Each structure stands twice: as C-alpha cells, then as structure tokens.
Structure 1
Amino acid sequence: MPESSDAAELLRGADLAALDARLESTDQLLETRFPGDDGRRQPVHTVYVPADRYHPDLPAQWGAAATACVEANGGIEAVCRAAGLDDAIAAEVAPRVLAKLRSDPIEDLRLDFEDGYGQRPDAEEDGDAVATAQRLADAVTQGVAPAFVGLRFKCFEAPTRRRGLRTLDLFLGTLLRRLGTLPDGLVITFPKVSTVSQVEAMVDACERLEAAAGLPAGRLRFEIQVETPQLIIGPAGDHPVAAAIHAGRGRVSALHYGTYDYSASLQISAEYQSSDHPAADFAKQVMQVAVAGTTVHLSDGSTNVLPLGDTAQVEVAWRLHAGLVQRALERGFYQGWDLHPHQLPTRYAATFAFYRHGLPRALSRLGNYVSRADSQILDEPATARALARYLQRGLSCGAVEETELVAGSGLTASQVATLARPRSDTENLVPLS
C-alpha cells in the first residue's frame, strides 16, 4: 500500500500475518467447500420414465404427444390462459413453447429402475439394465439423446442395496463397452437417502467403479433425492442434508425434493400431498440453505395430477401445474419433475413466461450497472450477479435470444457469463466493447 507522511498505522505486518494465519482454515473452507455456482447448465426439468420403456425415439414421441394434447384442447392459447399469462407475454411465449416441443421437448431424462420400475426378478432387471444402456448408447450415437440423461437405481437400504449397485454397474459397464466413454450429460440419481453414511458409501462405490473401469477420479457424480425427514433433521437435531453434500467430496451434483415419499413419511394424507404444502416448503428451504455457496443445484418435485380426460379436466391440471412451476421459480427452484408428456406445455409456458416477464427490467438494470449509468435502482455486485444468472438461465432454456441481450443491455452472452460468475467483484464491471 502507498505510504503517506500523514499515515498513522496501528496494525503492523506481524499483526496482519497473525490474523492471516488464524483464518487460514476458514479461507480454505470457503474456497474448497463454498466456491459458488460453477456455471454448468441446469435443465428446467427432469422427466421420469420406467427404464424398460425407454427407446431412442421417446423424447420426440413425448414432444409429439404434448403438441397433440395442445391442439386437442384449445391450442397454445389455452395453455397460456391456464398459465395465467397476459396477452403480451403470451404472444412472446406461445411460439417458443411450440418450437421447444418440436426441437427439444425433454431436457433431462431419467431412466427409472426404482419406484417407476418396481421389484422384479433379478434376471429381468439385469437384462433391462443392459438393454436400456444399449438403447441409450444408440441414442447418443444417433445424436437424439437429451442433453442430460441417466438412471435412478434402487436405494441403499438393506433390502435393495446390492440390487441397486448391480444395476448401476451393469448400466455403466454397458455404456462404456458400447461408447468407449460415458456421455457428457450422464446423470446418476441416488434415491431415498437417509444418512450421511449412505452418501459416504456411494462415494466409495463411485471410486471402485472408476478404478475398475479406468475412469478419471471424480468422473462419476450423483444427485441426492431428499425423500426422508431423517435427512432434513437428524437424531441429534442437526441437518444431515448439509453434511451429506460435503461428505460427497465434490461428487454431489444436485438435491432433488421427493414430493410424495417425503410427504408420506410425515403422515400427510394423500389428498394433501403436494410440493406447495408447508411441510414441503420447510424441507426445501433447508435444502436451499444447505446448497448456498456450493456448486450443487436444486430441483423441486412433481405433481401427480396429470392433464388427462376431457378439456375441462386437462385445463384444471394445466392450471395447477403451471402455478406450481411459477411458484417454484419465484422461490429459486429452477428445475422440477415432469411425469407425463401433457405436462410439457405448461412446464415451458410457465418457465418461458418467468424469464420473458422480467427480461426488460433485468436487461435495463444490468446495462445500467455495467455502464454506471444513473438509475433509480443502485444495484450491488451480488445483485448484478443474480441478474446475470437470471438472463443466462433464460438463454439456456430457449426463453431468451442473445440478440435480445445485446439490444437491451449492450452485453453479449459471454459478457453476461463473466458477470454471472466473476472471480472478484471488480470483474462485474466488464467492458462493453
């Protein structure tokens, strides 16, 4: 620091060095355990299908089924009405939803060997694990696999532990044999986690699988399904879900809330089990605090009220689904589960509307922040990061185009990415050239 003849420093170099030494472990903790969002894309949803029903054409068939449902029940205008969109936003959202259903209907696909598959003879599940992986390898080779795809195997409770691990082993081994590598967007879902010890055991299993397959250390990551109250509050009154993230040693990629298993564990009547129940909100708020500052993503759960039946019944289900999606987005849960093709229209209508509605204001605020223009709102670096991440999410799902970024804020997508994840607050002031 520059010296001044008027300076009267009270702390000397030895004092500062002592403080640095005292806080060295804290600095290391923050750097390694809480590095912040890593910038990887997060899908807006996860679609679950029983593993043995998967085939490479499934995403296209879901998109076609969703489009047919729209056409049979009042058109895209009816979807927008069910989502509560005003005419201006609906005009922006409608063509984007139809295009999404044609080109990219499923962003994240989970091939389910757990609840959606059930208990079957070992020989049958062995065969399905191999066959499903072969079909996925075909889809990857043909370029028709979703950006994110993987499996959910059976949980680590004693009755299903070995069965689940065998399915995971066969599935990964078959993919490696067919492709020579694992798909970049491979996702492994670890269900019904109750204790930190189960996560530690999963880490050990991943290490053993990597060693046996010759994979790089850390290649296998997994998302934890939060479906048991024991993971939210443990026997000691702590929150094991937070410890579970760090017990994963960098392998935990996401926490997914399990609406119905969690609700049932609390003895909530089936009639009232929902992702907007107060009990669900409590669990998800604990999850949200647990992942804050880490690289771990969050996902809401599902609704089992499906858009089926006559048009009136479809509209009721669409309205419920759109409302739950909007509610989750407002609360910082940018991903959820979809269980049926007919839920895709409202998933994308509500999601796109969320980003379209706030787009002009976000562009203006971020542009003013970077250019240091006078504004009624004085945003801080943390708010600038949040605005940039909001825009990035809109870009990645197709709600926003880069040309709109440039026109509205003067920023390119790469500049927004720098704003979203700076190495220091000074990097928030990116050049406009």
Structure 2
Amino acid sequence: MGQQEKVATSLAGAVSEEISASLAPVDAELERRYPGDPGTRQPVHTVYVPGDAFTADTLRSWGDQALALLDEHAPDAASFAAVLGLPGELAEPVHSRVRAKLEREPVEDLRVDFEDGYGPRPDAEEDETAARAARLIAEAYANGTAAPYMGIRVKCMEAAVRDRGIRTLDVFLTGLMAAGGLPEGLVLTLPKVTYPEQVGAFVRLLEAFEKAHGLDAGRLGFEIQIETSQAILATDGTATVARMIQAAEGRATGLHYGTFDYSACLGVSAAHQASDHPAADHAKAVMQVAAAGTGVRVSDGSTNVLPVGPTAKVHDAWRLHYGLTRRALARAYYQGWDMHPGHLPTRYAAVFAFYRAGFEQAAARLARYANRAGGDVMDEPATAKALSGYLLRGLDCGALDLPEVARLTGLTRTDLEGFASPRRGDLTASGQ
C-alpha cells in the first residue's frame, strides 16, 4: 500500500447547499420535462385501416394475405434472401421468424382511420362506424385476438372538421367504456396538428372525458401527427413540435411523421415524395431532437408503393420498402407506417435482420460492460443504455429470444431493463 493521501478542501458546506438550493427548480424541471423512455414496448409499425373496412378478422386477414404473398413470390428462405440481399447466415433465421410472426402476431399496432383513409361521411354513418370500431376492439381484447396496440385516428382540430372529430372520439371512447373499460393497449392519434394550441385543446377534451367517467387524470394519452411545415417551424423561428410536446402536458406518447402531407406542404412533387427525401430527413431530425428524453417516441412514415401485381413488381416494391425500413432503423426511427398487407413481410424482415445482424456484437459489448471487463471499446453508462435498449427492442418484436440473449450476455430481462432505464444521475455521474 502506498502513502495515504491527505484530503483537504477550501469551500464551506454552505456553498454546496446554496448551489443545490438555487438549482432545485432546474432539477424539478428536468424530472418533469425529461422523464426518459417509459420502458414499455414500442411497436415496430402502425397499420392504418379505414373505419368502414375494419372488421373482426382484419388482423388475421392481413397476416394471411402477407403469407400468401410470400408463398407466391418468395416461397423459401433462399428466394426471399435473394430478393432483399440478405447475407446467407441471416436467410433462414429471418425467413422463419417472418413466417412465424405473420402466423402469431401479424400486426403490432392498428389504427382504425376516420381521417384521410375514411373521408367525409354522413354523420349517422360515421357515428355507427365509430361505435362498431369500439365494439370490435373491445371484443378483440376480451377474446385475446387484439394486436398489442389498437385505437383510432380521428379528424383533426381544424375548424371545418373539429366537431366531427370530437364526436367520433366521444362515440368511440364511450363505446369502449360501455363494453368494459379502456384497454391497456389503447392508442389515439391526432392528425394534421399545426399549432400547440390544438394539442392543448385535445388535452382539454380528454380531461373532460376522464372527469365524465371518473377515470384517473392522465389515463388517456395520444400521438401527434407531424404533417405540415408549421408543425416543425413556427413563424417566430421556434421548433413548434417541441412546444406541442409541452402543450400535451405529459399525455403525448408519440410523434408520427406524415410522409405525403408534409412533402406536399413543402411543394415536393409527387414523384419525389418519400421518407428518404431531404425534407423528410430534416423534419424527422427536428422531431427526434425535440422528443429526446421526454418519453415521447418518434415514428417514421410510409411508402405508397404497394407490392402488388406480377412477381417482378412485387420484388421491386419489397426491395424499396425493406431499404427504407433498414435506413430508418439505422437513424433510430424504430417505428413506421404500413399501408398494405404486402408490406408486412419486408417490415419484419428488415426489423429482424437489423437486430440479428448486430446481436452478437451488442451482447458481447454489454457483457463486457456489465462484468467490467476490458475490450477494444471503452463503453460508458449511456452506451450500456443504448445496447440494452437495442436488445430489448429485438426481444419485444420477436427478432431475438431471451435464452440466446441470456446466454451471450449473462443477463436477465430485468438486468437489461435496469441498464436501459438508469436514473439520470447514473448517466451523468461518470462525467462522460
């Protein structure tokens, strides 16, 4: 043992106490505005189905149609891998997991659409459709056939359709309450938001419903769709989307990018409206920064190129969708929209390939960090958070299995969740 160092200080304890007292409001603000990720499962996609097209067998029908497309246009692992350019070692695990997913859980998140996909209808017809959607969703949760997340997208809060959107939401939620209550996986989507005040108005609407039914305050959350330039940049130069998150008063669960409405708003011609356009990248980057740390998740948009027709056209559409999905995942957009059953095979192929391709490296890095072992990369708490989050997302969607994750990391799911959701001080105390 070497000589013990003498420790001396110059500042009185009162200095630290004074500084802590002065920063107490900031500490509270950080906790309130940046609570971190909620730690719940995030679906890899959202499927939109028009209100009048939604039936009790919609989920199973989408899975069956997707499987039929695979059987017709890529019947085995080798042919599917050849279409998408999958490396040989991923061909069989991805193909088998895609088929299993389509058989077991073809849709992770479904939104019954009463906006663009439904359009203007007579009031009596929309009332009836909203009531039917509530009944079918309640029945699906009751009999175990529901997707993990289900809900509706109502019309926006603009003057022309505001009353109709409010009534549809009321009919739908009231129907769910009459059928036994709000399901845990319920999701509401507010489209075409341009001003934070519209978000605030939607909050007041949800508050009124909660009070009317004696629900806990804050029980109802909602997603905000970013579909206009005004939702990204306000007239005063501030980031509108950040103000929308604040206006939601803790109820915002997601920000969803609307590929085609946003592109059209900026004057992008139809042939170039896509989720990888520079204008789309800018919007999503602003959304991502505004949402970081708030617990609000960001979702990419969709492609309108459908895998239909002869095999060559289906393959072209599959390659496009697969490439866009892998691109989004690399940019930390872990969710997107799917508009057709034919998008499901490539959604899951892209997601499964993304997690399986990086699985062993991520598991090894996290194991070294957890065991304080050396290596060629010096990781820190924030990186451990990212590594465990990556593995958890892979587990949630079915890309990875817990036994293989445990085998390579030596960690349980509870351990992973602990690394993925550290306390704020645990990340900052390292000084990195």
Which bin holds the TM-score, normalised by the shorter protein?
Answer: over 0.9
SS of the aligned residue for 2:286 comes to helix
Deviates more, 1:239-248 or 1:391-400: 239-248
SS of the aligned residue for 2:235 comes to coil
- Determine if the alignment matches structure 1 residue 83 to structure 2 residue 84: yes
User: 1:25: which partner in 2?
Assistant: 25
- Determine if the alignment matches structure 1 residue 137 to structure 2 residue 130: no
Does structure 1 conserve the Cα–Cα contact (< 8 Å) formed by 2:382 and 2:427?
Answer: no
User: 2:176: which partner in 1?
Assistant: 175
User: 1:120: which partner in 2?
Assistant: 121
1:257-406 counterparts in 2 under 5 A?
257-406=257-406
Q: Deviations over 1:106-163 (max 9, x none)?
A: 0000000000000111111111111121121221221101010000000000000010
| CA apart distance, 1:416 | 0.8
Deviates more, 1:210-219 or 1:154-163: 210-219
Does structure 1 conserve the Cα–Cα contact (< 8 Å) formed by 2:80 and 2:91?
Answer: no
Give the distance between the partners of 2:419 and 2:425, measured in 1 at CA. 9
Does structure 2 conserve the Cα–Cα contact (< 8 Å) formed by 1:419 and 1:427?
Answer: no
Partner AA of 2:50 in structure 1: P
SS of the aligned residue for 1:406 comes to helix
| CA apart distance, 1:359 | 0.3
Number of equivalences:
424
Q: Deviations over 1:196-255 (max 9, x none)?
A: 100111111110011112211100000000001101000000001001111111100000
Does structure 1 conserve the Cα–Cα contact (< 8 Å) formed by 2:299 and 2:334?
Answer: yes
User: 1:185: which partner in 2?
Assistant: 185
Does structure 1 conserve the Cα–Cα contact (< 8 Å) formed by 2:190 and 2:222?
Answer: yes
1:30-109 counterparts in 2 under 5 A?
30-77=30-77, 78-109=79-110
Give the distance between the partners of 1:286 and 1:198, measured in 2 at CA. 20
| CA apart distance, 1:427 | 9.6
Partner AA of 1:162 in structure 2: D
User: 1:156: which partner in 2?
Assistant: 157
Q: Deviations over 1:8-62 (max 9, x none)?
A: 3222122112211221121111111101111011000000000121112111111
Q: Deviations over 1:174-200 (max 9, x none)?
A: 111012x10100000000000010011
- Determine if the alignment matches structure 1 residue 419 to structure 2 residue 419: yes
Give the distance between the partners of 2:207 and 2:373, measured in 1 at CA. 52
Per the normalisation by structure 1, the TM-score is 0.96
User: 1:248: which partner in 2?
Assistant: 248
SS of the aligned residue for 1:225 comes to strand
Does structure 2 conserve the Cα–Cα contact (< 8 Å) formed by 1:56 and 1:144?
Answer: no
Does structure 2 conserve the Cα–Cα contact (< 8 Å) formed by 1:381 and 1:425?
Answer: no
Give the distance between the partners of 2:279 and 2:320, measured in 1 at CA. 19
Give the distance between the partners of 1:115 and 1:76, measured in 2 at CA. 37
Deviates more, 1:416-425 or 1:99-108: 416-425
Give the distance between the partners of 1:208 and 1:384, measured in 2 at CA. 42
Does structure 2 conserve the Cα–Cα contact (< 8 Å) formed by 1:37 and 1:421?
Answer: yes
Q: Deviations over 1:284-309 (max 9, x none)?
A: 00000001111111100000000001
Partner AA of 1:19 in structure 2: I
Partner AA of 1:313 in structure 2: K
Deviates more, 1:61-70 or 1:8-17: 8-17
User: 2:200: which partner in 1?
Assistant: 200
SS of the aligned residue for 2:187 comes to strand
Partner AA of 2:19 in structure 1: L
Partner AA of 2:263 in structure 1: S
| CA apart distance, 1:6 | 3.8
Partner AA of 1:148 in structure 2: Y
Give the distance between the partners of 2:81 and 2:40, measured in 1 at CA. 30
Give the distance between the partners of 1:372 and 1:5, measured in 2 at CA. 26
Deviates more, 1:147-156 or 1:53-62: 53-62
Give the distance between the partners of 1:6 and 1:139, measured in 2 at CA. 69
Flag structure 2 segments of 5+ consecutive residues without an equivalent. Answer: none
RMSD, aligned α-carbons: 1.4
SS of the aligned residue for 1:151 comes to strand
Give the distance between the partners of 2:281 and 2:60, measured in 1 at CA. 34
Q: Deviations over 1:247-270 (max 9, x none)?
A: 111100000000000000001100
Per the normalisation by structure 2, the TM-score is 0.96
SS of the aligned residue for 1:372 comes to coil
1:425/1:82 CA distance change after superposition, 3 Å: farther
Q: Deviations over 1:377-401 (max 9, x none)?
A: 1111100110000000000000000
Does structure 2 conserve the Cα–Cα contact (< 8 Å) formed by 1:97 and 1:348?
Answer: yes
Does structure 2 conserve the Cα–Cα contact (< 8 Å) formed by 1:229 and 1:265?
Answer: yes
Does structure 1 conserve the Cα–Cα contact (< 8 Å) formed by 2:381 and 2:427?
Answer: no
Partner AA of 2:219 in structure 1: R
Give the distance between the partners of 1:427 and 1:402, measured in 2 at CA. 26
